[in-house]
Amino acid sequence: MKKVRIVFVNYQLICGGAEQALFDLINLLDKEKFEASVFVQHEGGDWEEKFRNAGILVIYDYSYRKPTLNPVIKMGNLVKKLRTKRALNQEGKGLLDVCLPEGADIVVSYSAWCKDWIAFAKNAKSVKYIHGDAATNPAYRLEAQTKKDVLSQYDRIVCVSNAAWESFRTVSGLTQNVEMHLNPLNSDNVRAMAEKKVDLPTDLPVICAVGRLSAEKGFERLVYIHRRLLDQGIRHRLVIVGDGMDRGYIERTIQATDTQDTVILAGYQANPYPYMKQSKFLVNSSFTEGLPVIAMEALCLGVPIVAPVPSVGEVFGGETCGLITENDNASLEAGIRKMLTDEEFYRQAKAGAEKRSAFFDGKRMVKEVEDMFLDLVGKE
């Protein structure tokens, strides 16, 4: 059978949950059936090397074309580059027809912030991924409200959680060909990488938070909650794994709250999983999320979760795997306090998370997405 050629369009390959989900998805796809590559709208992302090292073709306009001394080819490339600039000025319309003359069977607009029409190419089916919840994320809500002319042209729209699926349909009014598929998780890889030991203190319970250090992730409020719990006599440590533009701000918050001795800023870690596995539980403090990949990774490792994000509860599967709180500081603080002080509840959450771990089977999870792709091109 001829392989289905899929081109995933991403704004930039930076360190993030959506990019990790894309990395796992491509690596889990059946290589006998699919040939996948990534077209990036902006080159230079710090994860481009990670993708290339895994054998994934990363394309940026003409960066994958070898230099030539042939004047005819050089002139042809110049013309193509001019056409590329014109396409970018038209919200990406026709860009892939210029940059991918070999074509594609399916083009997937995978990340937010891509040009509106960039994922449409001649003779190719088009898929749009929605990673955020339009009910809580202003950017996704605005897109659903104002980009219906583009969104209605996709052959499939994939939302990564039921919450995102429901809010997108409600806000956009679009219901046809809108599906929900969890991001497939490379569970075997996560479990294997988690076996590495890291040097975390063992004198106090450690809670872990993982993510990009940016305002929407809520790490500032998490540090303040940590301080208030310490003031209540609840001794524990907080390890934050990640880096980003707000690192300096978080460092100043740690100094302002005098928590230098109990907050560990671990920085960016290519392998965050040992930090999660060696912690008592994971905290997601985001103000808005679709379905954070890190939550599925935690449950894959049998680690309970406290999160103010309703979609996280979707992957609990009816088990008590932690706590889903209201998305305000007081509720999140109460949830963390309960997990730290109510040992009976914590044992129940830990047992639930360990039981739920078996659900995260990468091969089973990717099968749903593969079936969608095959259905689009009329193959079984």
Read off the pLDDT of residues 196-206 as tens digits, 9 standing for 90 and up: 999 999 999 99
What is the chain's length?
A: 380
The arithmetic mean of pLDDT across residues 16-39, rounded, is 94
pLDDT digits (tens, 9 = 90+) for 81-100: 777 777 666 677 777 777 77
- Name, in order, each residue with C-beta under 8 angstroms of 347's C-beta and a sequence gap of 6 or more: none
Q: Given this model, what pLDDT does residue 65 score?
A: 57
Interval 345-358 mean pLDDT: 97
How far apart, in whole angstroms, are the C-alpha atoms of residue 127 and residue 124? 10
So what's the pLDDT on residue 274? Answer: 98
Residue 282: pLDDT above 60?
A: yes
DSSP 181: -
Going from N- to C-terminal start, the domains of the chain cover 4-185+362-376, 188-359
From the number of C-beta atoms within 10 Å of its C-beta (0-12, 13-18, 19+), residue 146 rates as exposed
Sole residue written with tokens 């042809």: 76
Name the pTM for this structure: 0.87
The yes/no answer on whether domain 4-185+362-376 falls in CATH 3.40.50.980 is no
Which range, of 67-71, 110-114, 325-329, 371-375, averages the lowest pLDDT?
A: 67-71
What is the average pLDDT score of the chain? Answer: 91
Write out pLDDT tens, residues 123-158. 999 999 999 999 988 989 999 999 999 999 999 999
| Phi, psi (degrees; rounded to nearest 5) at 200 | -110, 140
Domain 188-359 architecture: 3-Layer(aba) Sandwich (3.40)
Q: Do 4-185+362-376 and 188-359 fold alike per CATH?
A: yes
